[in-house]
Amino acid sequence: MSNRNFDPVLPADESSPREEATFADLLLSFEQQHADGPHGESVTGTVVSVGPEVILIDIGRKIEGSLPVAKWRETQPDEPRKGAAVAVSVGPRNEEGYYELSTIRVERPKDWAGLQSAFSEKRTIGGVVVEQVKGGFRVDIGVRAFLPASRSGVRDAEEMPNLVGQEIECRITKLDVEKEDVVVDRRAVLEEEQAERRQQAFSELKEGETVHGRVRSLMDFGAFVDVGGVDGLLHVVDMSYSRVGKASEIVKAGDELDLKILKIDAATRKISLGLKQLQEDPWSVASRTFHVGDRVSGTVSRLADFGAFVELLPGVDGLIHLSELSWNKRVRKPADMLKVGERVEAVILQVNPAERRIGLGYKQALGDPWDTVAQKFPVGSAVEGPVSNLTQFGAFVELGDGIEGMVHISDITNEKRLDHPREKLAKGQTVKAVVLEVDREKRRIRLGMKQLEPTTVDNYISEHQSGETVSGRLMEIHGDRAKVELGEGIVATCQLKAREEKAGEPEQPKAADVSSLGAMLAARWKQGGASGGAGKPAARAGEVRSFRIARMDPAKRLIELELAS
């Protein structure tokens, strides 16, 4: 609305010179000017044409009014069409000669009494922002009024200039005739309108429906989303089926989202929203995808005292129980073998979608080392490894791949009888042993260390050579073969056939190699020398004779003899 013939009324705190005209004179002129003119009048018009940017409306005057399409869409629910009726406020004529129209349907006081009435009743009136001044704006409401910047409804200082030239709705908060001071407030009107829109939007929302919203602000625990003028909370637990640490990992301010209304609390006016609820439940996917025995891969998402959780799909974690981490290794806690973020393979042991549980086996994916233990550690083979544990009854030796063998206390040494393995061994000490027994079913390997210690037979073989003549005592005779004791714990075999062939020939006794038998033979043998001759038996048990070493096998600890000629 134009006020070319009136000087502006300044706020009380503005320091510009005061005009001689009184405020009452200004009001009188204002009333006279608006008595016959159409400016500020609210009328119902008819759309006569719709252009890309401007709508022409018949307002009952000789000249039509012009309304921007954008202004129409701000207040009208339907798109503009020819013949549609619309209530508008009439303003001055523009450069094209059309009256400027506005769809703000509020009154504009036409006289002093109207201003007084609007002020006392706190009614909303219309006005045009004329210019930006120090501390706020000048607004034409029929007279020049002051709009403080803090009550303009504009938050950012950079946007203040954009308000100039706009038609606004405001409320008179001060009307002082004496001081010629008029102050208006736009922010209160906007807040009331926003509250009404929120109430209307809130009343139209229903639990379970899908709405479109814009992320307004973020907190670690969630995001506040504007859904049609009403704020709802999208909590982090409802953002994704995957574990979410904070809201910024999923959304950011300004994002536009389709959301599901989970709950509306009318008493507190709180709205709970969900994003993941618009996606298929991953456990439904898991029930179709995973089966017992399947080999799967995933990422370790977290560790607990009883096991490790592995993410197989977003929102689907399987549990590797502590007992399923290793076949043989004593695992005290999952962190001994796995770490968060590590990619692992496992075998599905159990699937229970109803309880949202999947049991996994880590050791099963690695393969059971006991399947090949008999081939890897055959009986009689030599092994080497560190002592992993000592008990009262023996020592455990690590053989690799989590397999341990046990050396019984009686198989540790030949030297002496042990009361505890620690008398001979220490934890971590590397030892050599021979495999005595492999039991696949009981998952047990028995080892022996003393079996690798040199024996009296080993020493005897190392000190003698084939073809050498030695003395020995006949122990047992079976046909043409006999057992011969060469020393304590040293037993050889002898072929007697050669002696039988020469039984008729007088035998010249030879001095026995008593020194090779040692003190033991001297004490045990009751016969002092060899005897023979025509008519005597070729050999008798207990007899000391001379023998020739025919063959020795160190690996088998075998000594074969023949009678010396």
Residues of the chain with pLDDT under 50: 1-21, 30-38, 499-536
Token output for 428: 């971590």
Domains and CATH numbers, the chain: 23-188 (2.40.50.140), 205-278 (2.40.50.140), 292-366 (2.40.50.140), 369-452 (2.40.50.140), 456-563 (2.40.50.140)
Residue 153 to residue 186: CA distance in whole angstroms: 6
Residue 24 pLDDT: 53
Residue 13: the pLDDT is: 40
**Cα 487 from Cα 468, distance rounded (Å):** 16
Q: Express each pLDDT in 46-92 by its tens digit.
A: 999 999 889 999 988 888 999 888 888 777 778 888 888 887 777 77
Distance CA 300, CA 525 (A): 76
Contacts 24+ apart (CB under 8 A), 194-203: 194/229, 197/229, 198/229, 198/230, 200/229, 201/227, 201/228, 201/229, 201/230, 202/230, 202/264, 202/269, 202/271
Per the document, the length of the chain is: 565
Reading the block at residue 36, the tokens are 């016959």
Strands (DSSP E) found in 220-283: 222-226, 231-235, 256-265, 270-274
How far apart CA 397 and CA 445 sit, in angstroms, is 10
DSSP state of 187: H
φ/ψ bin of 136: left (φ > 0), alpha (ψ from -120 to 50), beta (otherwise) = left
| Structure tokens belonging to residue 490 | 């040293």
DSSP-derived pairing of the beta strands 181-185 and 558-563: unpaired
What 8-state DSSP symbol labels residue 107?
B
pLDDT tens column, 444-491:
999 999 888 778 888 898 889 999 999 999 998 888 889 999 988 889
Tokens linked to 48: 């006569």
- What residues contact residue 175 under an 8 Å CB cut-off, 6+ apart? 115, 116, 119, 181, 182
Q: What is the CA radius of gyration of the chain?
A: 55
Backbone phi, then psi, for 68, in 5-degree steps? -60, 140
- Report the pLDDT value the prediction gives residue 527, as an integer from 0 to 100: 40
Residue 338 CB-half CA count within 13 A: 32
Token pair of 14, please?
């503005």
From residue 451, how far is each of 170, 321, 414 by CA, in Å? 106, 40, 8
Q: State both tokens at 418.
A: 């042990």
β-pair type (490-495, 558-563):
parallel
